[in-house]
Amino acid sequence: MTMIREETMVAEIHRLDDRGSGQAAVWRENEQGNLKKLKLTVPQTLPGEKVNVTVDKPERRRRKALLNEIIEAHPERTAPPCPHFEKCGGCVWQHWEYQGQLKQKTDHVRQAIEAQGFDPNLVLDTIGMDDPWHYRNKMEFTFAPNGSLGLHEQGNFRKIISLETCLIAGKEMVAAAMEVADWAKSHQLTGYNKDLHEGLFRHLMVRQSFATGEMMLGLFVTEAPSAHLQDAADDLVQRITDKFPQVKSLLWLENTNWADRTQSEDTHILAGRDFIYDEMDGYRFRLWFDTFFQTNPTQAQKLVDLAIEMGQPKKTEKMIDLFCGVGTFSLPFANKVGELAGIEIVETSIESAKRNAADNGIENTTFLAKDARKGIDQILETFGTPELLLLDPPRSGAGGKVMRRIGRAKPERIVYVSCNPDTFAVDIKELEQFGYSLKVVQPVDLFPHTVHVEAVATLVLND
């Protein structure tokens, strides 16, 4: 049988998938004359649009299509301002007016909780940003094998798109990253080849506090800054200290692991210290290269404000902060409750939380490095039942076992900070059997031009 290698067709986008790409279905005849449905994924399209696409191997049932032309455009379609948008995987919705993005995110949260039997009217409109650009305070760029620096291509983690700019990162961060890219090119330093597991530079992590201005540059490299690299390292220090005095931490981070992650087996400080200071809600935090901290400080402050408003903490109460990290929520809440216990499985984060509490003169906190379910049991034995419990789990959610343990503990009020509407809805469903009612869900957009949406919700134990 002769295989059709490529075909051009017209399709209508009927919805978006969980990655923000358009979905379409086209009926076409196969070689036997039978109609078969071909399901298409078309990036950078919007619901209701009619498009002309090219499909490779259309005899398959599901294919990713190449967009040729927008025949009928969505009324909210707009010209993406970034020159790299069509290829770079950093954003997926620059072609959609911002208000349309916010409505889509609100709808996502409503659909997620409605699927679990909750009233979608409990979900308020998503809180957006006044200026949805240059909002990120941390970026991880990747070196291509030829030494150029950029981000992964959309849907292809093997190819790196070399960047001249990035419109979602802080402007000073982008300038510093481009300086490092120019430095690597001038010294003809190689990037890491993921297939051959050879090459020198893997990633560049840039983080900057928008509050203090301090910046960190972390180079992830497959070997130490030994003698043959000393001249290059010295030149990097000179360039950065001359042009970017706000860089208070310049790090060379050894990473020989095959896994494609920003991790370090040995840290070399080229200049400054191994951390920077950041601030949120008036509290000071120390951030190391591997410290998790909210990447959109403007919207993260709104999350904290909402959590306090919804949680209604009182000086006479006890509180548990589950998945507490370095204390982003713990510190602001600690000054409003009698006692606070934070639980987090990552030991380095707990050490940071303790240090951050001490740096800010907070003395009514206890921090425990333990997995969530076991940590709750241990805290409840010594701490007693809290009136208020806050949880801010990872994208995978807290899980049924943890949620049922929370339900059995019976705190009066629960504040759930979510970064994934689908796992959030499944998690809170577990609390119904313990007598909890969902009161309100407030989505917040921390990642404009992407599919991600955060939310803060309150659940109350029924009398």
Task: Return the active site residues.
Answer: 419
Nearest partner of 276 among 240, 246, 296, judged by Cα? 246
Name the 3-class secondary structure at 238: helix
Radius of gyration of the chain, Cα coordinates, nearest whole angstrom: 24
Beta partners for 123?
441
Residue type, 162: S
The owner of tokens 């007016």 is: 97
Nearest partner of 424 among 448, 450, 457, judged by Cα? 457
Cα 201 to its chain centre, rounded Å, is 23
Distance CA 24, CA 47 (A): 9
* Cβ-based neighbours of 188, under 8 Å, separated by 6 or more: 147
Distance CA 410, CA 316 (A): 17
Nearest partner of 328 among 276, 293, 363, 290, judged by Cα? 293
Residue type, 300: A
The owner of tokens 């904290």 is: 304
Cα 24 to its chain centre, rounded Å, is 28
Cβ neighbours of 282 (radius 10 Å): 10
Q: Long-range contacts made by residues 227-234, C-beta under 8 angstroms, separation at least 24?
A: 232/183, 232/187, 232/189, 233/270
DSSP string covering 175-187: HHHHHHHHHHHHT
* Cβ-based neighbours of 252, under 8 Å, separated by 6 or more: 219, 221, 224, 225, 233, 267, 268, 269, 270
Beta partners for 441?
123, 457
Beta partners for 344?
369
Distance CA 458, CA 158 (A): 42
